[in-house]
């Protein structure tokens, strides 16, 4: 028997047939870099200066501004991006494994070049710190939604009802927060609403084997209908009780918030943002380094095998789907108690679907999800920041950019990401 | 003697089998799902009523008042829903009597078009959330041809309808080709394309070619009268409905009778098997998305070429993209089912508006009604357990046991 096995190492090893090289990434990066570099350099007026303002977070340093010549900076940033592109060519040609950092760094450099170009020759400085800290805050519901998706999909349940879970969380947080006048109580109740929707998803998808995507979409409609109905009736007639706005505090972490530039961006945030940091780290470890995570992923990858070693597949699926719902529900608190607003009809406005996209773009991993969510949050915040400066590009095109990037990314630049093998399938014990 | 007893026994068995069949058949599931949904909505309607809330305070001392209040509120709301959707008893003449029905028909048209499109996608195993974007692109082309080109009546209408189809088809082609060539997940691509289409529409409405002159709002000029669907017999319903029925027929023919439909269904059932059998999965995928997009694009015609808005605005696609998903699901992705589901949801919408106007019940409750119906229809075992109907599996097991016992007695004899 052993004589028949082919040695995989040593002199007798047969050469494995090589996969054809996938040139998509270097080609796409080259095209993008050359396009951006050429366009921006050509469109810059000679002698224009770009002003970028930083909030250092230290009273002694104040808010210094950096003034740079626009064209030279754009060229330098573009050349750096070209350098990354060159690495991508080399790594592809030598069949090396390229990290996810390659497109991220190249993209960041190009975005930076674009920003420098956009504020070039304008009187107003670009508020760098505010741009990034605002982007981080806007990405909070997307991150929670994407985390919820990660938890559910690794256990084998497709969670399209993130949108509904966010909305339910926003609703309950807003109502409880307003009725009690205590934003913290609202924050605590938000996950309960999300968990309830998660439980419904589990009931139909796991217990009754209904197609997961169908349940998800329909639950979204259900939550939209339910919350809008209650908003138009009970809430509006008792607006004094249910429609007051309460707000979670913004907290500056001692010491950390004193780090120049980085401190004001990362550590002068709403309480919910800190919870998000903890959730991302905890889930990244929990999913890929813990026994629970291993069991979860077993249920998503190969439920039969999981069942054979004694894991209760459907019980694991139900519990984790509820947990996922709770995570998205917590993210829903962003819209009401974290943003300091009363609940409004359909206030999640499709963020749940964007969160789903962020999860896929992030390769079904918490750390990838936060990166993708930040991209969307950044684009969302960018139009406001550039509007202040007075940039002539129609805001709609700026807003489109991250969605276009996502399409390019899923079409192959980022590389193939793989969903859990058995997601969306019912396990019949 | 024994023979008559045997016949009676057999008749009873037949009757019980028939009853069981009805209990397990899907039409009963549909009816029961609708009943449950109506009960859930009735609870919501009653709970939000101030009179009900007031009498609930004295529930123990005067329970009669409470139930009277609930009954009156729910009764009025549902009677308005019915009269707004089906027939108006105080309508006077025949036209007034059947006016609600024509409203229902006109509301159902975009749902049927978009639902047909999404249904094709489902049958190919593609989850197309992009109805919204496809409707928007259909609307942009259709609307532009409608107000910018001044063609003779008839031809103008045809051109607009064709462009609506092409606009949606083009927007559906993108996720189709990306899926076929790069394996890009169509769910994510269509979500992204929805947002892109919405922003594009927002931008194009600020351009001089599209903006209505002298208007501060981002709306386009009104579509020419020559491009509008003629009304059917002076009612709100128009030629669009006939077109929707024809589209349903066409989709039925494509899916059930044509080679393309066969390959679409084969790919949906099992892409690997389809590939092994020599079908091109890529071609089927692209065609599916093109057809789906085109049909969704046609949904725009009912907005632009009929009585409702007749001009492009940011909300032209409404929420039809998502509504159509539930329509396609309820119709089980089949042409006939989608037409029926579209009519049901159109009726709920038409009735919902009257209910909102006359009984102060927000139309949002209709969304609850719709989603509960679809959820329950998708889970027949749940409906059976709610109504304590015999279980499908248990009935089968019983039948097998009985057959075994019968064989055993026969062998023994």
Top residue of B193, B196, B373, B376 to mutate, by most chain A CBs within 10 Å, is B196
Q: Is the minimum CB–CB distance between A228 and chain B shorter than 8 Å?
A: yes
Cα torsion for A202, A207, A212, A217, to the nearest 10°? -60
B5 vs A310: which has the higher pLDDT: A310
In chain A, the number of structural domains is 2
| pLDDT > 70? residue B5 | no
pLDDT > 70: percent of chain B: 90
Q: Is the minimum CB–CB distance between B340 and chain A shorter than 8 Å?
A: no
Residues A82 and A165 grouped into a single domain = no
B221 occurs within a structural domain: yes
Residues A205 and A290 grouped into a single domain = yes
Q: Is the minimum CB–CB distance between B386 and chain A shorter than 8 Å?
A: no
What is the separation, in whole angstroms, between the first and last Cα of chain B? 21
Q: Is the minimum CB–CB distance between B375 and chain A shorter than 8 Å?
A: yes
Mean pLDDT of A180-203: 94
pLDDT of residue A4: 52
| pLDDT > 50? residue B1 | no
Cα torsion for B178, A301, A375, A224, to the nearest 10°? 90
| pLDDT > 70? residue B7 | no
Question: Is A229 close to B48, i.e. CB distance below 8 A?
Answer: yes
B116 vs A25: which has the higher pLDDT: B116
Distance CA B52, CA B70 (A): 6
Minimum distance, in Å, between the CA of residue B75 and any CA atom of chain A? 18
- Could you report the per-residue pLDDT of A368-378, keeping only the tens digit for each? 899 889 988 88
Distance CA B201, CA B211 (A): 11
A408 occurs within a structural domain: no
Question: Is B188 close to A360, i.e. CB distance below 8 A?
Answer: yes
B220 occurs within a structural domain: yes
Q: Binning pLDDT at 50, 70 and 90, where does residue A1 land?
A: very low
B52 occurs within a structural domain: no
pLDDT of residue A11: 55
pLDDT of residue B11: 55
Distance CA B146, CA B313 (A): 14
pLDDT > 90: percent of chain B: 31
> Which residue in chain A has the smallest CA separation from B366?
A225
A396 occurs within a structural domain: no
User: Which stretch of DSSP H or E encloses residue B333?
Assistant: none
| pLDDT > 60? residue A49 | yes
Last residue of a domain, one of A123, A152, A177: A123
Question: Is B322 close to A217, i.e. CB distance below 8 A?
Answer: yes
Residue with tokens 């709002």: B217
Residues A167 and A283 grouped into a single domain = yes
A223 vs B101: which has the higher pLDDT: A223
B312 occurs within a structural domain: yes
Q: Is A391 exposed, middle or buried (0-12, 13-18, 19+ CB in 10 A)?
A: buried
Residue with tokens 């990362």: A266
A287 occurs within a structural domain: yes
Last residue of a domain, one of A65, A95, A123: A123
Q: Binning pLDDT at 50, 70 and 90, where does residue A146 land?
A: very high
Q: Is A3 left (phi over 0), alpha (psi -120 to 50) or beta?
A: alpha
Interface of B with A in 113-152 (CB under 8 A): 127, 129
User: Which stretch of DSSP H or E encloses residue A273?
Assistant: helix A271-289
Query: What count of CB pairs under 8 Å joins A to B?
Result: 134
| pLDDT > 50? residue B20 | yes
Q: Is the minimum CB–CB distance between A232 and chain B shorter than 8 Å?
A: yes
A240 occurs within a structural domain: yes
Task: Determine phi and psi for B210, rounding to 5 degrees.
Answer: -110, -15
Residues A175 and A226 grouped into a single domain = yes
pLDDT of residue A2: 45
Question: Is B191 close to A353, i.e. CB distance below 8 A?
Answer: yes
A324 vs B362: which has the higher pLDDT: A324
Residue B158 structural domain: 107-339
Tokens of A408: 């390019």
Q: Binning pLDDT at 50, 70 and 90, where does residue B102 land?
A: confident
| pLDDT > 70? residue A27 | yes
Distance CA A47, CA A66 (A): 16
Q: Is the minimum CB–CB distance between B189 and chain A shorter than 8 Å?
A: yes
Residue A316 structural domain: 134-370
Residues A143 and A30 grouped into a single domain = no
Task: Determine phi and psi for B329, rounding to 5 degrees.
Answer: -65, -45
Residues A332 and A354 grouped into a single domain = yes
B250 occurs within a structural domain: yes
* The pairing of beta strand A49-53 with beta strand A126-127: parallel
Residue B64 CB neighbours (<10 A): 10
Residues A95 and A144 grouped into a single domain = no
Q: DSSP assignment of A173-215, as one string?
A: HHHHHHHHT-HHHHHHHHHHHHHHHHHHHHIIIIIS---HHHH
Distance CA A372, CA A150 (A): 13
- Could you report the per-residue pLDDT of A62-101, keeping only the tens digit for each? 677 888 888 888 889 999 999 999 998 998 888 888 777 8
Q: Is the minimum CB–CB distance between A400 and chain B shorter than 8 Å?
A: yes
Residues A196 and A59 grouped into a single domain = no
> Which residue in chain A has the smallest CA separation from B177?
A411
Residues A183 and A238 grouped into a single domain = yes
- Helix ranges restricted to H, A335-390: 351-361, 366-389
Residues A219 and A361 grouped into a single domain = yes
Residues A174 and A290 grouped into a single domain = yes
A391 occurs within a structural domain: no
Give CA separation, A291 vs A288, A302, B239, in Å. 9, 16, 62
B22 occurs within a structural domain: no
Task: Determine phi and psi for A252, rounding to 5 degrees.
Answer: -95, 120
- Could you report the per-residue pLDDT of B79-93, keeping only the tens digit for each? 988 888 888 877 777
Q: How far is CA A344 from the centre of its chain?
A: 23
B370 occurs within a structural domain: no
Distance CA B144, CA B209 (A): 9
Interface of A with B in 45-104 (CB under 8 A): none
Mean pLDDT of B1-28: 55
A110 occurs within a structural domain: yes
Residues A95 and A166 grouped into a single domain = no
- Could you report the per-residue pLDDT of A356-368, keeping only the tens digit for each? 888 888 888 999 8
A314 occurs within a structural domain: yes
* Contact status, residue A375 vs residue A402, Cβ threshold 8 Å: yes
Residue with tokens 């070209």: A82
Mean pLDDT of A130-150: 92
| pLDDT > 50? residue B221 | yes
- Could you report the per-residue pLDDT of A312-370, keeping only the tens digit for each? 999 999 999 999 999 999 999 999 999 888 898 888 888 898 898 888 888 889 998 99
Question: Is A208 close to B365, i.e. CB distance below 8 A?
Answer: no
Top residue of B42, B190, B191 to mutate, by most chain A CBs within 10 Å, is B191
Q: Is the minimum CB–CB distance between B153 and chain A shorter than 8 Å?
A: no
pLDDT of residue B285: 93
Q: Which residues in chain B have their CB less than 8 angstroms from residue A211's CB?
A: 378
**Sequence-separated (6 or more) residues with CB below 8 Å from residue A88:** A25, A26, A29, A98, A102, A106
In chain B, the number of structural domains is 1
B389 occurs within a structural domain: no
| pLDDT > 80? residue A424 | no
Across chain B, what does the average pLDDT equal?
A: 84
- Could you report the per-residue pLDDT of B284-295, keeping only the tens digit for each? 999 999 999 999
Q: DSSP assignment of A48-98, as one string?
A: -EEEEE---S-TTT---EEEEEHHHHHHHHHHHHHHHHHHHHHHHHTTPPP
* Contact status, residue A270 vs residue A143, Cβ threshold 8 Å: no
């Amino acid at each position: 028997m052993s004589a028949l096995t082919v040695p995989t190492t040593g002199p007798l090893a047969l050469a494995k047939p090589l996969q054809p090289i996938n040139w998509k990434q270097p080609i796409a990066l080259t095209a993008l870099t050359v396009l951006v570099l050429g366009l921006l350099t050509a469109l810059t007026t000679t002698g224009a200066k770009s002003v970028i303002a930083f909030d250092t977070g230290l009273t002694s340093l104040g808010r210094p501004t950096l003034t740079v010549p626009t064209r030279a900076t754009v060229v330098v940033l573009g050349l750096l991006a070209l350098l990354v592109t060159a690495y991508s060519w080399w790594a592809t040609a030598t069949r090396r494994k390229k990290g996810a950092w390659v497109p991220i760094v190249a993209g960041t450099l190009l975005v930076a070049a674009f920003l420098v170009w956009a504020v070039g020759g304008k009187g107003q400085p670009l508020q760098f710190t505010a741009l990034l800290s605002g982007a981080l805050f806007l990405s909070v519901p997307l991150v929670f939604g994407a985390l919820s998706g990660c938890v559910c999909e690794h256990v084998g349940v497709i969670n399209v009802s993130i949108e509904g879970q966010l909305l339910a969380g926003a609703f309950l947080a807003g109502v409880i927060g307003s009725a009690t006048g205590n934003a913290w109580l609202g924050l605590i109740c938000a996950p309960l609403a999300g968990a309830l929707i998660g439980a419904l998803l589990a009931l139909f998808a796991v217990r009754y084997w209904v197609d997961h995507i169908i349940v998800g979409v329909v639950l979204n409609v259900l939550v939209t209908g339910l919350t809008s109905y209650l908003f138009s009736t009970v809430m509006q007639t008792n607006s004094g009780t249910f429609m007051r706005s309460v707000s979670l505090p913004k907290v500056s972490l001692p010491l950390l918030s004193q780090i120049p530039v980085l401190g004001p961006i990362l550590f002068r945030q709403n309480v919910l943002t800190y919870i998000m940091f903890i959730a991302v780290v905890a889930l990244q470890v929990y999913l890929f380094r813990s026994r629970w995570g291993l069991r979860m992923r077993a249920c998503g990858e190969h439920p039969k095998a999981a069942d054979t070693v004694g894991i209760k597949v459907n019980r694991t699926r139900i519990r984790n789907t509820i947990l996922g719902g709770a995570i998205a529900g917590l993210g829903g608190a962003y819209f009401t108690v974290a943003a300091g607003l009363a609940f409004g009809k359909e206030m999640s406005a499709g963020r749940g679907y964007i969160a789903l996209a962020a999860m896929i773009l992030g390769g079904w991993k918490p750390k990838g999800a936060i990166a993708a969510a930040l991209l969307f949050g950044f684009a969302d915040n960018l139009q406001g920041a550039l509007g202040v400066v007075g940039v002539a590009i129609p805001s709609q095109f700026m807003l489109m950019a991250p969605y276009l990037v996502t399409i390019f990314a899923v079409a192959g630049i980022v590389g193939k990401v793989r969903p859990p093998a058995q997601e969306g399938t019912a396990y019949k014990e | 003697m024994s023979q008559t007893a045997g016949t009676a026994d057999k008749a009873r068995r037949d009757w019980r089998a028939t009853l069981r069949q009805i209990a397990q058949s899907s039409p009963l599931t549909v009816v029961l799902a609708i009943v449950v949904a109506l009960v859930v909505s009735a609870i919501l309607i009653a709970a939000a009523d101030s009179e009900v809330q007031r009498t609930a305070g004295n529930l123990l001392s005067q329970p009669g008042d409470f139930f009277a209040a609930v009954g009156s509120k729910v009764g009025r709301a549902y009677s308005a829903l019915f009269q707004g959707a089906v027939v108006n008893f105080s309508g006077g003449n025949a036209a007034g009597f059947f006016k609600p029905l024509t409203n229902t028909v006109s509301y159902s048209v975009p749902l049927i078009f978009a639902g047909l499109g999404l249904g094709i996608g489902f049958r190919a195993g593609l989850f197309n959330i992009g109805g919204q974007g496809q409707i928007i692109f259909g609307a942009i082309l259709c609307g532009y041809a409608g107000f910018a080109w001044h063609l003779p009546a008839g031809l103008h209408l045809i051109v607009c309808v064709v462009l609506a189809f092409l606009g949606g088809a083009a927007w559906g082609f993108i996720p189709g080709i990306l899926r076929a060539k790069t394996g890009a997940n169509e769910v994510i691509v269509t979500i992204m394309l929805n947002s892109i289409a919405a922003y594009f529409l927002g931008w194009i409405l600020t351009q001089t070619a599209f903006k209505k002159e002298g208007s501060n709002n981002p709306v386009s000029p009104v579509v020419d009268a020559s491009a509008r669907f003629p009304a059917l017999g002076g009612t709100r319903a128009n030629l669009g409905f006939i077109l929707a029925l024809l589209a349903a027929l066409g989709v039925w023919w494509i899916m059930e009778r044509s080679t393309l439909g066969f390959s679409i269904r084969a790919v949906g059932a099992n892409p690997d098997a389809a590939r092994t059998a020599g079908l091109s999965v890529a071609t089927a995928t692209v065609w599916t998305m093109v057809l789906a997009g085109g049909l969704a694009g046609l949904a725009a015609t009912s907005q632009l070429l009929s009585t409702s808005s007749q001009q492009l605005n940011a909300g032209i696609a409404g929420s039809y993209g998502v509504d159509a998903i539930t329509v396609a699901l309820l119709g089980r992705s089949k042409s006939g089912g989608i037409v029926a589901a579209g009519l049901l949801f159109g009726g709920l919408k038409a009735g919902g508006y009257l209910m909102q106007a006359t009984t102060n019940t927000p139309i949002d409750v209709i969304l609850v009604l719709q989603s509960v119906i679809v959820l329950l229809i998708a889970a027949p075992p749940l409906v059976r357990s709610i109504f304590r109907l015999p279980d499908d599996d248990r009935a089968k097991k019983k039948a097998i046991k009985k057959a075994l016992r019968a064989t055993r007695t026969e062998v023994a004899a």
